[in-house]
Chains A and B, each alone.
Chain A
Amino acid sequence: MTRPTAKEIKAIADIAGVAVSNEVAERIANSIGPAFEGFASVAGTLPFDLEPATFIVVQQAANTPDKGAAQ
């Protein structure tokens, strides 16, 4: 996964219905580039059956009686 260029960002923003100038597109590219790089090792590696609700499943499994609470 590579970070999007200002040109690509301008096109994506236009499709989203919020047109941005070349200058803004350049700034966005600069701002979010590091997030793309940080996520690059995860992107494209996830197993087929994984869906967002897995988070709730894992979270609920951890929701055992509070160890910190008085019994």
Chain B
Amino acid sequence: MNTEPALMSLTSVAKAIAEKRVSSREATQACLDRIAQWQPRLNAFMAIEAEAALAATDAADAALAKGDRRGALHGVPLAHKDMYYEAGKVVTCGSKIRRDFVATKTSTALQRLKDAGTIRLGSLQMAEFAYGPTGHNAHYGPVHNPWAVDRITGGSSSGSGSAVAARLTFAAMGSDTGGSIRMPAHFCGVTGLKTTYGRISRAGAMPLSQSLDTVGPLARTAEDCALLLGLMAGADAQDPTAVAGPVPDYMAAAREPIKGLTIGVPSAFYVDDLDPEVARILDETVAALKREGADIVQVELPDQRQLTASCQLVLAVEAAAFHKRWLIERPQDYGPQVLMRLQNGLAIPGVIYLEAMRWRGSALAAHLAAVAGVDAVIAPVAPVAAPTIAESDVGNSPDAESVIQRLTRFTRPINYLGLPSLSIPAGFTRGGLPVGMQLIGRSFDEAMLLRIGAAFQRVTDFHERAPKSA
């Protein structure tokens, strides 16, 4: 275990603080030192609240000295994507329109982490209104990838991916509507969990598409994601789509071996037109899982292009509806690409939108039937490693949407089906860029994905590698 506090995993630092081997102040100061070092090059933070964070650590350390441990994350400093409302705090949503918006309530997911004892480091950059997969932001500038600062982080949880990778925060909440957790996890070399639709309350989280939005963590390990999921999941009176029922013991699941499990590799679509390095890393990941005792089989999934198209139709209409007032009153205050994509939703007739919504149950049933013989499916998150910021800066050019669709073609079907997917660091290109693979599960079976992801991380070290500071 690394003893430099900021380099520890979330579970390690939480344990170290609980056992008084590391104080909350030491852990927080270590993060703040790294933020000061990296932020000028990464642009990962929207706001840094050093003074308030350190004051909170002193209270946390004093409470712990008196035997008062608030919860599983007592004294652990975290920062989150700047779209989770916290009463009294500015929440920009990565936008000019909400540059001065002060939230009057606190999101359920964030409150549950606060109740577990976390300390606020500040807030993290993101794509404007979470509507962009690259990490560009017309108002606040692009977030940079700590593995190569001329490369994108992926989005929309761009700051979350960058900050977790550079060890500026032990974990961060992101959101995933079309790939926004998995893309940054893949491009930045961290672990990201897109949860099942309904697994975590969305109350107090900025909406993009009410049928597709999901809340989830980016962290260094699958075990860290298990810890966070266990704290955030569960029913919420403020969000009727959050499912009731007991929350599984995800930490216990993450300790289980995978011998005897069956993992499916898609026979098409997810293995088509891959960069050779991504294809190599997929093969190596499958081989590692096989060595751990998993049975590997090929699976034939239904036509994923229909799912991708359906996702685009639903997302475009719902996003346009949320933004309609501002589209009328403040179109000049959007970045060009986000404005263009919001306008796309205006052109989709209500009947087509509802057909895409009506088909969703049948499509999910067909998918579940296709994967009935496997415990999870493994696939690349994207066909390539991180492109450069310059080459992916397509703005509102005529081919912008097609560039975006190509980049997100492996993530959108999963959002349409509402399934959970865990992106794990799976290797590096010969040029040193991280590559992730996604494990796709059945509805509400995050435990299986965390089990497989943690087993993979016990025999690999990709998740432990940190980018070097210049």
Chain A, residue nearest B303 (CB) = A41
Assess the B356–A54 pair: CB atoms within 8 A. no
- Give the tally of cross-chain contacts (CB within 8 A): 171
Assess the A59–B398 pair: CB atoms within 8 A. no
B358 near A: Cβ within 8 Å?
yes
Assess the B309–A34 pair: CB atoms within 8 A. yes
**A31-B344, A63-B245, A68-B450 known; A38-B358 Cβ under 8 A:** no
Which single member of A13, A37, A38, A44 contacts B347 (CB below 8 Å)? A13
Report the Cα distance A70→B365, complex, angstroms.
Answer: 26
B80 near A: Cβ within 8 Å?
no
Report the Cα distance A41→B401, complex, angstroms.
Answer: 22
Assess the B400–A68 pair: CB atoms within 8 A. no
A12 nearest CB across to chain B (Å):
6
Among the listed stretches B36-44, B116-124, B131-139, B437-445, which one makes contact with chain A, having 4 or more residues with CB under 8 Å of it?
A: B437-445
Assess the A50–B402 pair: CB atoms within 8 A. no
- Interface majority SS (helix, strand, loop, mixed), chain A: helix
B348 near A: Cβ within 8 Å?
yes
Which single member of A29, A34, A50, A55 contacts B418 (CB below 8 Å)? A55
Annotate B330-370 by CB proximity to A: 1 below 8 A, 0 otherwise: 00000000001101101111001011111111101100100
Task: Tell me the residues in window 26-71 of chain A with beta carbons closer than 8 Å to chain B beta carbons.
Answer: 27-32, 34-39, 41-44, 46, 50-60, 62-63, 66-70
Among the listed stretches B14-22, B250-258, B284-292, which one makes contact with chain A, having 4 or more residues with CB under 8 Å of it?
A: B250-258
Report which residue of B252, B310, B365, B449 has the largest number of chain A beta carbons within 10 angstroms of its beta carbon: B365
Can you sample 11 A-B contacts with CB below 8 Å?
A: A12-B346, A30-B398, A32-B312, A35-B313, A38-B305, A52-B357, A54-B360, A62-B442, A63-B444, A68-B375, A68-B447
11 new A-B contacts at CB < 8 Å, known A13-B346, A16-B346: A9-B346, A12-B349, A18-B324, A25-B347, A54-B362, A56-B361, A58-B365, A59-B443, A66-B446, A66-B447, A69-B252
Chain A contacts to B: CB under 8 angstroms: 1, 4, 8-9, 12-13, 16-18, 20, 24-25, 27-32, 34-39, 41-44, 46, 50-60, 62-63, 66-70
What are the 4 A-B residue pairs with the smallest beta carbon separation, nearest first? A38-B309, A54-B361, A68-B448, A68-B447
